[in-house]
Structure 1
């Protein structure tokens, strides 16, 4: 079974194809994963947040279906939808719902988007482990830091009691669904942000940046904080109802103000392809057990059942 340390540490390349030839009984009766001669190729791209889940599911699925090759890449939610609309990929990982223009582009190409929720995530605001002055940040403070043309250059600019030391900022690039969600929730308008920060679609790059700078601040998916908590400090966020720390419980009950569902998108027409249909069934059955193993929060069982029912109805 998957271990988080093995998984997250391996997210270095922007594209990875995982091959496995072992057999297992984990997927028996799941609608896939019984090694019954299934074959084909499935290409997945999109969100770096959802990437660890899809990578884990892909490897386990291929162990039980060695005739199917599943390739998982990460170019950001927006980049993934662009490739999907061009029919360069079969499934698109997304850390936010598809936008109207993305949906229109997909439909123009003959795709019929089917949204499949797969887990919960909570965008985590983090500082360096040595930071001993920041425990909480309000939405107003985060907006002051991250809004376009921000005047914040030092920690003292945020709170006069904090050190007069420059803030080194790390965050996702503009193709990221995490960027879209964070800017909409915190800045108040999707896609609006200061630009003088270190951007990357690879969350491990952001982890390493914050971990290597005593006065850094960054944000990314909860699983990446959870895996690297020995070198990062998570900040409680106050969205108006008090400062809340992201955790399995606060993300699940959405009391943490930066909680969100994450998705996989499929083309309704492609659900007729046996390998895609069986992979998605596997994702929502055996795969839901892998969600926790890679640091995310599973949906309620009834939500996975709704997903399976949706696949059946489509």
Structure 2
């Protein structure tokens, strides 16, 4: 059988007849276009219906979200802000307060800038949430704040200088040593009424001073300006003589720096105590007194203050009660504005010298930390 099969196979090949190959059904079914087109139409209808539902839901959600946003928006700032302390920042406080009031008309201000010590005392007693100051806190003031559970946040806004001035009609600008400064303004000069009348005046400096009457004008003894005179102008000689570094108590004092300046200009033989800001008032002729630090006479100027060459310098701080910040959004917003670069023109107009970039960064970080702590303690 196998042989016959082989012959048949050979015969078929010879005749050219080959077995037909087995036709296998394709594993991929054949499709037509019509069912596919019908499926797409149904899908499109479903998608359109779903899109319509989503659109209606989205509109509803947007409306609900808008209503919630309207209900939860912050109420307008209100209340009152009491500011006490040094008048050295009067220009800055006035400018910032005016701009703040335009944006927040419901906030009221109570401002009385009568002196650094007064402002800090009220701050530590919890009676003023913000104090302007021309110096840092003393140890006694820090202790007073702690006893009252007040945590003052110390923020540097600018620097200024205390300047002795005379009127140009009395001669050229003068230069005083620390010894001469003590002889004219120290506690032992009480009752001295002429420029050369103090027995403590160095003989070498007498020829450069007038022999006429001496009239001294300045801010109140409690002011930061007079504290700079005491601490940085009189302390060296007072320590050497074993006396108190305090200015004489018989000078004429005014609450307003403008009154000090005007009295100095009008009075022959006058010696006024101002700030560098008060010195730089346009149209008011007045002569600054240089200070002989031992290395020569140093005039009061922004450059000498910034480089620490001029000795009678002072910072301009604001101290803010951390506890008050937690209770007053208006106070927090006001301090934010005081630290904003938009306040720079007011600082410059007041004669203040801006902090360095590093100092400004440190101030912003200090304030941010205080605000965060006040919020967490609330």
TM-score, normalised to structure 1, is 0.82
Show the counterpart of 2:44: none
In 2: Cα distance, 1:110 partner to 1:212 partner: 48
CA contact (8 A) 1:277 1:311 kept: no
Please tell me the root mean square deviation across aligned C-alpha atoms, in Å: 2.1
Deviations 1:40-60 (A, max 9, x none): 321101112222222222112
- Given candidates 275, 290, 294, the residue that maps to 2:330 is 275
Show the counterpart of 1:212: 266
Runs of 4+ in 1 over 6 A off after TM superposition: none
Show the counterpart of 1:156: 196
Within 5 A, what are the aligned runs for 1:25-36? Answer: none
CA contact (8 A) 2:166 2:264 kept: yes
Q: Secondary structure at the match of 1:278?
A: helix
In 2: Cα distance, 1:121 partner to 1:198 partner: 23
- Structure 2's unaligned 5+ residue stretches are 1-73, 239-243, 371-378
Show the counterpart of 1:72: 111
Residues 242, 64 of structure 1: alpha-carbon distance in 2 compared, 3 angstrom cutoff: farther
Structure whose alpha-carbon radius of gyration is higher:
2
Q: Which has the higher helix share?
A: 2
Residues 36, 259 of structure 1: alpha-carbon distance in 2 compared, 3 angstrom cutoff: farther
Higher relative contact order (CA 8 A, sep 6+): 1
Q: Is 1:48–2:87 an aligned residue pair?
A: yes
Show the counterpart of 1:266: 320
Deviations 1:83-104 (A, max 9, x none): 2223221100110111122222
CA contact (8 A) 2:264 2:270 kept: yes
Q: Is 1:293–2:293 an aligned residue pair?
A: no
- Given candidates 120, 137, 140, the residue that maps to 2:176 is 137
Show the counterpart of 2:241: none
1:168 deviates by 0.3
Show the counterpart of 2:296: 242
Query: What is the number of equivalent residue pairs in this alignment?
Result: 280
Show the counterpart of 2:310: 256
1:229 deviates by 6.1
In 2: Cα distance, 1:202 partner to 1:289 partner: 22
- Structure 1's unaligned 5+ residue stretches are 1-34
In 1: Cα distance, 2:214 partner to 2:134 partner: 27
CA contact (8 A) 2:119 2:132 kept: yes
In 2: Cα distance, 1:227 partner to 1:303 partner: 27
Show the counterpart of 2:100: 61
